[in-house]
Chains A and B, each alone.
Chain A
Amino acid sequence: MAAKKLRRAQLSQELCERLSRYQITTCQDFLCLSLLELMKVTGQSYYEVQKLLHKVSRACAPKMQTAYEMKLRKSVNPSSTFLSTTLHSLDRVLRGGVPCGSLTEITSPPGCGKTQFCIMMSVLATLPISMGGLDGAVIYIDTESAFSAERLIEIAANRFPTYFDSDEKLFCMTSSVHLYRDLTCCSVLKRIMSLEEEIISKKVKLIIIDSVASVVRKEFDPKLQGNLAERSNFLTRGASVLKYLAEEFSIPKLFLVFVHFGL
């Protein structure tokens, strides 16, 4: 929304040309200026500038919905709101499973089985809807090279032996799990930014990032000056893009942070 060009905000052509001479081309540039600066660059009176601000704001502002409309929309589609983990006590605590349309974070001391859990969720996501799955693809962003395809097949064959009764079915399942090995913060962020197109083209229903904490700890030493700010910058930027994707596509995602003691 911020990068929306001013001419699409229904400002007049000559005004847009005049503003582009001052390098003001997007709604973001326009809204970041103070009233006096806007009066100077547009050459218009106070009241006119107020009207322009209204126009540009209307082009950027989100749509209103009442809480009642949100509830109605949710109740229309109840089955797609959770991905069951097939672990009954966990499902009970989570009130159904991993929720759709939001980020879920898994943390624990090392060795508890987070990566194993993720591999199992990948298998579950590829199952057909009649078996409690999502019948879709999985994007697995692996920052520690901990993913093992053999383990994936082992879990699938042992948990659902009746469904994965042929090699063909197993290979079909493995081809819907898309693995990306991104070992630096920068590449993880770039990957997250490029996910939107992948989700649409590959019909992705689950995104797993294993793990965010390891790549952050590798690169940002909290004792050094300035690193805290950069680290929080990276984390919040990634989080906001992931939240946008989750809401836009209403797909369940796992956002993993391995928290070790002392992080």
Chain B
Amino acid sequence: MRHPFPYEHFRNKSFVFFSLVGTLPLAPALRSRLAAAGFQTAQELLDTGPCGLSKEIGISREEALEALQVVRQECHGDAARTPGGSGATRKCTALELLEEEQTQGFIITFCSALDTILGGGVQLTKITEICGAPGVGKTQLCMQLAVDVQIPECFGGVAGEAVFVDTEGSFMVDRVVDIAAACVRHCHLIAEAQQEEDHREALETFSLENILSHIYYFRCRDYIELLAQVYLLPEFLSEHSKVRLVVIDGIAFPFRHDFEDLSLRTRLLNGLAQQLIIIANDHKTAVVLTNQMTTRIGQSQSTLVPALGESWGHAATVRLIFHWDNKSFQTGHSGSWPWSATCQAPEAQEFSHWGWDSVG
């Protein structure tokens, strides 16, 4: 028997109008009332109109109008989104993605071994997690990145600004001043060697004062302030559209105490990871997190593993683990994308006056 549903009639209309009432972003009480009254699709609601709706389910006309406005906004929003491909659906071919990724800049660290392991530097639109024992240099690296993200494009940088969210209080302004001064000197040396016009122009605005003014610092004292700050980040990033790096120094610290309910912690961390992924993609920023190490007691031995458990391990695209080995650094890069080789830094990394720098 031929199906009575007239597909041809509706072929050109957006399929969103057939979205079920249960999926609309209305208040749950209202949704359950609509379902009880027998409404199934958004189109039915729009056809009924506010007066009919209010009589049928027993709500006021104003409430009915409000509900219909939400439905209309949802439908038109979706219809506008599907042809474009940006927004919630976000589809593109792998080739387009490849081209985008290849032209995207990296935030260089001025340490060639580290840049090599990372495949060029810290990548935009990805989350990089830095783990290591206390004192190994995670905060130093973050401060270095906050300066390096501002390097002008003619010197190989991305000319962006940085947001620094500090949960442990280990941010030292004096150290950032040292790093920034060294970076400016380095760029001056390059400009003198190459003698190009755009280098000189760029150096006029690339000064110590400018660098420091474009590092936006937030001090979060507990996990609630951290959650609140991450909720507000998208708005901040829309207002400051040049930000290309978000550093959260110490993602583990606020979550490691005051949590009897571990499942709540996992849920909050997962929510945080999701929001950070959205921020990284929507605003084309690199997100860098630092994590502590904790001891996992095995049967015969104990090992140092990154804190916050195994489920958190899936949040970051790239995970850098630093550890001391006979006074020289070793870095292991365990990333689920695109490779997971571990390699050793060939030379000892020194915290010279310039910050992270390869020696020899």
* Chain A interface (Cβ < 8 Å from any Cβ of B): 1-2, 27-28, 31-32, 34, 39-40, 43-47, 53-54, 56-68, 70-71, 74, 102, 228, 232-233, 236-237, 240, 243-244, 246-247
Taking the complex as formed, is B253 at the interface, i.e. its CB lies under 8 A from any CB of chain A?
Answer: yes
B168 contacts which chain A residues (CB < 8 A)?
243
Interface size on B, residues (CB 8 A): 52
Question: How far in angstroms is the closest Cβ of chain B from A65?
Answer: 5
Tell which of B35-43, B119-127, B228-236, B311-319 binds the partner: B228-236
When the two chains form the complex, which single residue of B27, B177, B232, B235 contacts A39, counting CB atoms closer than 8 Å? Answer: B27
Cβ–Cβ contact A236 & B256, under 8 A:
yes
Taking the complex as formed, is B108 at the interface, i.e. its CB lies under 8 A from any CB of chain A?
Answer: no
Q: Which 7 A-B pairs have the closest CB atoms?
A: A46-B25, A68-B212, A57-B228, A2-B224, A60-B228, A67-B215, A236-B257
B199 contacts which chain A residues (CB < 8 A)?
none
9 CB < 8 A contacts A-B: A31-B228, A57-B232, A62-B218, A62-B229, A63-B218, A65-B216, A67-B176, A233-B258, A240-B222
Cβ–Cβ contact B225 & A68, under 8 A:
no
A34 contacts which chain B residues (CB < 8 A)?
267, 271
Chain B's closest residue to A68 (CB) is B212
A102–B166 Cα distance when bound, in Å, is 14
Taking the complex as formed, is B227 at the interface, i.e. its CB lies under 8 A from any CB of chain A?
Answer: yes
B73 contacts which chain A residues (CB < 8 A)?
47
Cβ–Cβ contact B28 & A56, under 8 A:
no
Question: How far in angstroms is the closest Cβ of chain B from A61?
Answer: 4
Chain A's closest residue to B162 (CB) is A67
A239–B223 Cα distance when bound, in Å, is 15
Taking the complex as formed, is B98 at the interface, i.e. its CB lies under 8 A from any CB of chain A?
Answer: no
Q: A61-B229, A67-B173 are in contact. Are A233 and B257 (CB under 8 A)?
A: yes
Most buried by B among A47, A56, A71, A247: A71
Taking the complex as formed, is B191 at the interface, i.e. its CB lies under 8 A from any CB of chain A?
Answer: no
B225 contacts which chain A residues (CB < 8 A)?
1-2, 60-62
A71 contacts which chain B residues (CB < 8 A)?
173-174, 177, 212
